[in-house]
Amino acid sequence: MTGERKRITPTHRYRNNDKLVGVGNAFWNSSEEHGVAGIVGDLTDGVFHMADGHEFVNFTVCSYLDLDTHPKVIDGAVDSLRRFGVLDHCIPRTRVQTRVLLELEESLGELFGATVISAISTAAASTGLLPLIASGHLGDGTRPLMVFDKNAHVSLGNTKPTCADETEVVTCRHHDLDFLEDMCRTYERVCYVVDGSDSLGGYAPVEELAALQDKYNMLVFYDDSHSLSAYGERGIGYVRSHSPVLDERTITVATLTKGFGAGGTAILLDGYPHATRRLIERFAGPLGYSQKMNAAAVGAALASAEIHRTEELDRLQGKLRANIALFDSLLQTEQAGSTYPIRLVPMSDDTVVDAAQRVFRAGFYTSPVFFPIVARGTAGLRVMLRAGQSAEQITRLCAVLVEAGARPAGIAA
């Protein structure tokens, strides 16, 4: 080669892998060096067994009702595979499909009172849906200003560059209603993209957002993955329990892997015509060209849906609430008192990985978050409560956490 070859200078308007990898790898390396990441084990009766003989209970798993290991859900997956006779018939469903997804979508539609379209994952669904909203094809034809909440899940934030090729994209402070109203006054249409329930606790202000939806015809795209099953009648989730606007202005996605205990995701729609279903199946990115929920995942989801229709769901939600209350009676966290199953037990940046290691040796996995993954001064151990944890396990965990530096409940800061 002769002459100067060009070096590329990226714009980094919406993403930056130098920063992501640079910051993230230091965190992961430190976690792995302390033995609190990269863990391998076998799960039997709620306990992990490692090759070196160590055993632990996982306190950072999002299966809030333990439906992922429910015998009926496991049987549902196995039976479905035999019933449909094929795991994934690899052809876009828009051309040829078996009844498998239709059966699931009908069941979930009845359960949640919505039109349901399934996808292999929430990440795939959001990757496909958000650019269609950005271009106005999913909506009323107007290209909306896409306003992403600063704390929106990474699977939502990752779509910014694609959305920005179709419309204008901005990021706003967490739940900044004043900013949203300003944007609604300025732009023909606005779409706000936000988690219905946050990964570190708290819920979206759905009623205040509904007022903006009514006043300005604003669209809201909710990702309610953390509250499906764990919250609401029949496990309908936080958004559908509280949002007064359940029509074409509200689009919700919610994973079927967390509380629901199966696999895949549900796109929940109201008030859209049948043509919208076709538009999504054909043009929502991976939904049109990649794999669908397979027959085993569908069978698990159908079995989980059946459990959601019985009083067993109320019982499991009640056990989850009792476990959350027990935890809050023992340890102080900012989230104490919330119905939300996630707690962040505050620790200092310098001690949090050691604390996680100590807790792990005592037989419990909790995941440390610390600088540079979170801001300085907000480090801690993430704990997730589940219906299946015993009172004894929770009490013992809390005792170990206090020994590791956590603050017991009822002691002034």
- CB contact at 8 A, 222 and 181: no
Query: 3-state class of 277 per DSSP?
Result: helix
Residue placing its CB nearer to ligand PLP in the complex, 97 or 199: 199
Of the candidates 115, 155, 167, 243, which one interacts with ligand PLP according to CB under 6 A? 155
Residue in the structure block whose two tokens are 């396990």:
393
Binding segment toward ligand PLP, per CB under 6 A, in 102-110, 223-231, 295-303, 396-404: 223-231
Per CB under 6 A, does 225 bind ligand PLP?
Answer: yes
Q: At what angle do helices 295-308 and 100-112 cross, to 10 degrees?
A: 20
Distance CA 36, CA 38 (A): 7
**Interface with ligand PLP includes 255 (CB under 6 A)?**
yes
Which residues neighbour 153 within 8 Å (Cβ) at sequence distance 6 or greater? 195, 199, 223, 225
Q: What gap in Å lies between CA 346 and CA 380, rounded to an integer?
A: 4
Our finding on whether 265 is near ligand PLP (CB under 6 A) is yes
Tell me the helix, strand and coil percentages in the chain, rounded to 5. Answer: 40, 15, 45
Q: How far is the CB of 121 from ligand PLP (least distance, A)?
A: 3
Is 292 an interacting residue with respect to ligand PLP (CB under 6 A)? no
Does position 229 interact with ligand PLP (CB under 6 A)? The reply is no
> Smallest distance from the beta carbon of 185 to ligand PLP, in angstroms?
29
Nearer residue to ligand PLP within complex by CB, 66 or 406 = 66
Please report how close the Cβ of residue 265 comes to ligand PLP at its closest, in angstroms.
Answer: 5
Distance between CA atoms of residues 135 and 191, nearest Å? 11
Query: Which CB sits closer to ligand PLP, 122 or 393?
Result: 122
Residue whose structure tokens are 């340890």: 331
**If you search the block for the tokens 């209603």, which residue do you land on?**
177
CA quadruple 55, 296, 221, 282: dihedral sign? positive
3-state secondary structure of 368: strand
Interface region with ligand PLP, contact rule CB under 6 A, candidates 13-21, 91-99, 221-229, 368-376: 221-229
Question: Does 317 help bind ligand PLP (rule: CB under 6 A)?
Answer: no
Residue of the chain from 153, 175, 234, 240 that contacts ligand PLP (CB under 6 A): 153
Question: Based on the number of CB atoms within 10 Å of its own CB, is 246 exposed (0-12), middle (13-18) or buried (19 or more)?
Answer: middle
Residue 122 in the binding site for ligand PLP (CB under 6 A): yes
For residue 341, count other CB atoms closer than 10 A to its CB. 27
- Which residues, 102 to 121, sit near ligand PLP by CB under 6 A? 121
Q: 48: helix, coil or strand?
A: strand
DSSP state of 261: -
* Token code pair at residue 130: 């958000």
Out of 115, 257, 276, 304, which residue is the one contacting ligand PLP (CB under 6 A)? 257
Nearer to ligand PLP among residue 184 and residue 200 (C-beta): 200
Do 234 and 111 touch, CB atoms closer than 8 A?
yes
Q: Which is nearer to ligand PLP, 66 or 223 (CB)?
A: 223
Least distance to ligand PLP, CB of residue 223, Å: 4
Q: Does position 252 bind ligand PLP by CB under 6 A?
A: no
Q: Of 226, 292, 343, 382, which lies in the binding site for ligand PLP, with binding defined by CB under 6 A?
A: 226
Q: How far is the CB of 155 from ligand PLP (least distance, A)?
A: 5
State the minimum distance, in angstroms, from the CB of residue 63 to ligand PLP.
11
Residue at 111: amino acid letter:
L
| Kind plus residue range of the DSSP H or E element containing 45 | none
User: Considering all CA atoms of the chain, what is the largest pairwise distance in Å, rounded to the nearest integer?
Assistant: 75
CB of 124 to ligand PLP, least distance (A): 7
Nearer to ligand PLP, 61 or 355 (CB): 61
**Strand partners for 255:** 265
Q: How far is the CB of 213 from ligand PLP (least distance, A)?
A: 20
Within 186-205, which residues bind ligand PLP (CB under 6 A)? 195, 199
Residues 102, 301 contacting (CB under 8 angstroms): no
Nearer to ligand PLP, 225 or 229 (CB): 225
CB 289, min distance to ligand PLP, A: 17
Question: How many residues sit in the footprint of ligand PLP (CB under 6 A)?
Answer: 13
Residues that bind ligand PLP (CB under 6 A): 121-123, 153, 155, 195, 199, 223, 225-226, 255, 257, 265
